[in-house]
A and B are shown apart, each in its own frame.
Chain A
Protein backbone atom coordinates (compact mmCIF):
# COMPACT_ATOMS: atom_id res chain seq x y z
CA UNK A 1 0.00 0.00 0.00
CA UNK A 2 1.70 3.14 -1.22
CA UNK A 3 -1.04 5.57 -0.32
CA UNK A 4 -2.98 7.85 -2.61
CA UNK A 5 -1.19 8.51 -5.90
CA UNK A 6 -1.76 11.53 -8.12
CA UNK A 7 -0.45 12.23 -11.61
CA UNK A 8 0.99 14.40 -12.89
CA UNK A 9 2.68 16.23 -10.00
CA UNK A 10 2.87 19.44 -12.02
CA UNK A 11 0.99 20.66 -15.05
CA UNK A 12 1.59 23.89 -16.94
CA UNK A 13 -0.93 24.77 -19.59
CA UNK A 14 -2.06 27.70 -21.66
CA UNK A 15 -5.36 29.38 -21.05
CA UNK A 16 -8.13 27.71 -23.00
CA UNK A 17 -6.56 24.25 -23.05
CA UNK A 18 -8.11 21.17 -21.44
CA UNK A 19 -6.29 19.28 -18.71
CA UNK A 20 -6.91 15.95 -17.02
CA UNK A 21 -5.57 14.72 -13.71
CA UNK A 22 -5.57 11.19 -12.38
CA UNK A 23 -5.95 9.87 -8.84
CA UNK A 24 -5.34 6.31 -7.68
CA UNK A 25 -6.79 5.83 -4.20
CA UNK A 26 -5.78 3.34 -1.53
CA UNK A 27 -7.06 0.05 -2.89
CA UNK A 28 -9.66 -0.89 -0.27
CA UNK A 29 -11.08 2.64 0.03
CA UNK A 30 -14.52 3.06 -1.50
CA UNK A 31 -14.72 6.82 -1.14
CA UNK A 32 -12.72 9.27 -3.22
CA UNK A 33 -12.63 13.05 -2.89
CA UNK A 34 -11.29 15.94 -4.93
CA UNK A 35 -10.24 19.18 -3.28
CA UNK A 36 -8.61 22.36 -4.54
CA UNK A 37 -6.12 24.39 -2.53
CA UNK A 38 -4.71 27.83 -3.25
CA UNK A 39 -1.92 29.61 -1.41
CA UNK A 40 -2.90 30.64 2.08
CA UNK A 41 -6.18 28.75 2.02
CA UNK A 42 -7.37 25.42 3.28
CA UNK A 43 -8.47 22.67 0.92
CA UNK A 44 -11.79 23.47 -0.72
CA UNK A 45 -14.17 20.59 -1.43
CA UNK A 46 -14.96 19.95 -5.10
CA UNK A 47 -16.66 16.57 -5.36
CA UNK A 48 -16.73 13.04 -4.01
CA UNK A 49 -17.52 9.48 -5.06
CA UNK A 50 -18.65 6.41 -3.27
CA UNK A 51 -17.52 3.59 -5.50
CA UNK A 52 -18.40 4.78 -9.02
CA UNK A 53 -21.26 7.05 -7.97
CA UNK A 54 -20.63 10.78 -7.75
CA UNK A 55 -22.58 11.65 -4.62
CA UNK A 56 -21.88 15.35 -4.18
CA UNK A 57 -20.52 18.20 -6.21
CA UNK A 58 -19.74 21.64 -4.86
CA UNK A 59 -22.06 24.39 -6.02
CA UNK A 60 -18.95 26.48 -6.56
CA UNK A 61 -17.71 24.04 -9.18
CA UNK A 62 -17.90 25.41 -12.69
CA UNK A 63 -19.45 23.37 -15.49
CA UNK A 64 -15.98 23.28 -17.02
CA UNK A 65 -14.99 20.78 -14.31
CA UNK A 66 -15.95 17.14 -14.57
CA UNK A 67 -14.86 14.12 -12.60
CA UNK A 68 -15.29 10.43 -13.20
CA UNK A 69 -14.60 7.21 -11.39
CA UNK A 70 -15.69 4.68 -13.98
CA UNK A 71 -14.94 1.39 -12.22
CA UNK A 72 -14.90 2.59 -8.65
CA UNK A 73 -11.12 2.54 -8.57
CA UNK A 74 -9.09 5.42 -10.03
CA UNK A 75 -10.63 8.79 -10.77
CA UNK A 76 -9.99 11.55 -13.28
CA UNK A 77 -10.67 15.27 -12.95
CA UNK A 78 -10.93 17.20 -16.19
CA UNK A 79 -10.92 20.96 -16.56
CA UNK A 80 -12.05 22.27 -19.93
CA UNK A 81 -11.09 25.66 -21.35
CA UNK A 82 -8.78 26.43 -18.46
CA UNK A 83 -8.63 29.93 -17.02
CA UNK A 84 -5.90 31.59 -14.99
CA UNK A 85 -8.12 31.39 -11.93
CA UNK A 86 -7.96 27.60 -12.14
CA UNK A 87 -4.31 27.70 -11.09
CA UNK A 88 -4.16 25.78 -7.82
CA UNK A 89 -3.12 22.55 -6.18
CA UNK A 90 -5.67 19.81 -6.89
CA UNK A 91 -5.79 17.26 -4.10
CA UNK A 92 -7.27 13.80 -4.11
CA UNK A 93 -8.15 11.89 -0.96
CA UNK A 94 -9.66 8.50 -0.26
CA UNK A 95 -11.31 6.93 2.74
CA UNK A 96 -12.98 3.78 3.95
CA UNK A 97 -14.54 5.32 7.05
CA UNK A 98 -14.39 8.98 8.02
CA UNK A 99 -10.63 9.57 7.98
CA UNK A 100 -9.33 10.99 4.70
CA UNK A 101 -5.92 10.06 3.32
CA UNK A 102 -4.50 12.62 0.92
CA UNK A 103 -2.24 12.39 -2.08
CA UNK A 104 0.54 14.84 -2.83
CA UNK A 105 -1.58 16.75 -5.29
CA UNK A 106 -1.26 18.07 -8.83
CA UNK A 107 -0.05 21.66 -9.09
CA UNK A 108 -1.76 23.35 -12.03
CA UNK A 109 -0.39 26.56 -13.51
CA UNK A 110 -2.45 28.23 -16.23
CA UNK A 111 -0.49 30.80 -18.24
Chain B
Protein backbone atom coordinates (compact mmCIF):
# COMPACT_ATOMS: atom_id res chain seq x y z
CA UNK B 1 0.00 0.00 0.00
CA UNK B 2 1.07 3.53 -0.64
CA UNK B 3 2.22 5.62 2.29
CA UNK B 4 3.69 9.05 2.83
CA UNK B 5 6.09 10.01 5.62
CA UNK B 6 6.70 13.49 6.87
CA UNK B 7 9.41 13.30 9.49
CA UNK B 8 9.28 16.90 10.67
CA UNK B 9 6.17 17.20 12.79
CA UNK B 10 6.78 20.70 14.09
CA UNK B 11 9.25 23.25 12.75
CA UNK B 12 9.94 26.63 14.31
CA UNK B 13 11.84 29.27 12.35
CA UNK B 14 12.58 32.95 12.44
CA UNK B 15 11.64 35.11 9.49
CA UNK B 16 14.16 35.01 6.62
CA UNK B 17 15.39 31.55 7.60
CA UNK B 18 15.47 28.87 4.94
CA UNK B 19 12.97 26.03 5.03
CA UNK B 20 13.13 22.42 3.97
CA UNK B 21 10.37 19.97 4.85
CA UNK B 22 10.95 16.31 4.20
CA UNK B 23 8.54 13.99 2.41
CA UNK B 24 9.13 10.37 1.51
CA UNK B 25 6.70 8.00 -0.13
CA UNK B 26 6.55 4.28 -0.61
CA UNK B 27 5.59 3.19 -4.09
CA UNK B 28 7.86 1.90 -6.81
CA UNK B 29 5.94 2.93 -9.89
CA UNK B 30 4.86 6.19 -11.47
CA UNK B 31 3.65 8.75 -8.96
CA UNK B 32 2.07 12.16 -8.91
CA UNK B 33 3.19 14.26 -5.95
CA UNK B 34 1.64 17.24 -4.23
CA UNK B 35 2.19 19.69 -1.41
CA UNK B 36 -0.87 21.22 0.18
CA UNK B 37 -0.95 24.00 2.76
CA UNK B 38 -3.55 24.74 5.40
CA UNK B 39 -3.38 28.23 6.89
CA UNK B 40 -5.02 28.71 10.29
CA UNK B 41 -8.79 28.57 9.91
CA UNK B 42 -8.67 27.95 6.18
CA UNK B 43 -9.17 24.98 3.87
CA UNK B 44 -6.42 22.94 2.24
CA UNK B 45 -4.87 24.67 -0.76
CA UNK B 46 -2.49 23.34 -3.38
CA UNK B 47 1.05 24.71 -3.14
CA UNK B 48 2.60 22.77 -5.99
CA UNK B 49 2.45 19.48 -7.87
CA UNK B 50 4.66 17.14 -9.83
CA UNK B 51 3.34 14.93 -12.61
CA UNK B 52 6.31 14.49 -14.95
CA UNK B 53 9.19 16.36 -16.56
CA UNK B 54 11.51 18.72 -14.68
CA UNK B 55 11.90 17.26 -11.17
CA UNK B 56 12.26 20.76 -9.71
CA UNK B 57 8.82 22.27 -9.52
CA UNK B 58 7.92 25.77 -8.48
CA UNK B 59 4.73 26.63 -6.70
CA UNK B 60 3.00 29.63 -5.27
CA UNK B 61 4.46 32.06 -2.73
CA UNK B 62 8.08 31.21 -3.54
CA UNK B 63 7.88 27.53 -2.63
CA UNK B 64 9.57 24.82 -4.65
CA UNK B 65 10.00 21.08 -4.36
CA UNK B 66 12.38 18.57 -5.85
CA UNK B 67 11.39 15.08 -6.88
CA UNK B 68 14.26 12.62 -6.36
CA UNK B 69 13.07 9.29 -7.68
CA UNK B 70 16.02 7.30 -6.32
CA UNK B 71 15.28 8.53 -2.82
CA UNK B 72 11.47 8.36 -3.09
CA UNK B 73 11.47 11.94 -1.87
CA UNK B 74 9.67 15.17 -2.65
CA UNK B 75 11.03 17.75 -0.23
CA UNK B 76 9.55 21.22 0.01
CA UNK B 77 11.83 24.25 0.15
CA UNK B 78 11.68 27.98 0.50
CA UNK B 79 14.82 30.14 0.70
CA UNK B 80 13.40 32.77 3.05
CA UNK B 81 10.24 32.22 5.08
CA UNK B 82 7.83 34.90 6.19
CA UNK B 83 5.56 35.13 9.22
CA UNK B 84 2.62 34.56 6.84
CA UNK B 85 3.99 31.10 5.99
CA UNK B 86 2.87 29.88 9.41
CA UNK B 87 0.62 26.95 8.53
CA UNK B 88 0.39 23.19 8.34
CA UNK B 89 1.96 21.56 5.29
CA UNK B 90 0.89 18.23 3.87
CA UNK B 91 2.66 16.08 1.33
CA UNK B 92 0.46 13.77 -0.76
CA UNK B 93 0.96 11.07 -3.36
CA UNK B 94 -1.28 9.66 -6.06
CA UNK B 95 -0.02 6.37 -7.40
CA UNK B 96 -2.83 3.90 -7.92
CA UNK B 97 -6.27 5.14 -8.81
CA UNK B 98 -7.34 8.68 -8.30
CA UNK B 99 -7.22 9.21 -4.57
CA UNK B 100 -4.50 11.13 -2.77
CA UNK B 101 -2.71 9.63 0.20
CA UNK B 102 -1.55 12.28 2.65
CA UNK B 103 1.26 12.43 5.15
CA UNK B 104 0.62 13.39 8.76
CA UNK B 105 1.61 17.00 8.13
CA UNK B 106 4.26 19.41 9.39
CA UNK B 107 3.28 22.37 11.50
CA UNK B 108 5.43 25.38 10.65
CA UNK B 109 5.64 28.34 12.99
CA UNK B 110 7.53 31.43 11.82
CA UNK B 111 8.37 34.12 14.33
CA UNK B 112 9.07 37.70 13.32
Q: Which residues of A pack against B, CB within 8 Å? A: 3-4, 31, 33, 35, 40-45, 48, 50, 55-56, 91, 93, 95, 98-105
Contacts and interface: CB of A to CB of B under 8 A. Distances in A.
B102 A56 contact: no
Interface in B19-34: 32, 34
Nearest to A44: B102
Given A41-B104, A102-B43, A104-B43, A33 B99 contact: yes
A55 B36 CA distance: 24
Interface in B66-108: 90, 92, 94, 97-105
B100 A100 contact: yes
Interface size class of B (residues with CB under 8 A): 20 to 34
**Most B C-beta atoms less than 10 A away, residue of A42, A43, A45:** A42
Given A45-B99, A98-B98, 13 more contacts: A33-B100, A42-B104, A43-B44, A43-B90, A43-B100, A43-B102, A45-B100, A48-B98, A93-B44, A98-B94, A99-B34, A100-B46, A100-B100
B102 A48 contact: no
Nearest to B105: A42
Contacts of A101: 46
Nearest to B94: A98
A91 B102 CA distance: 13
Contacts of B104: 40-42
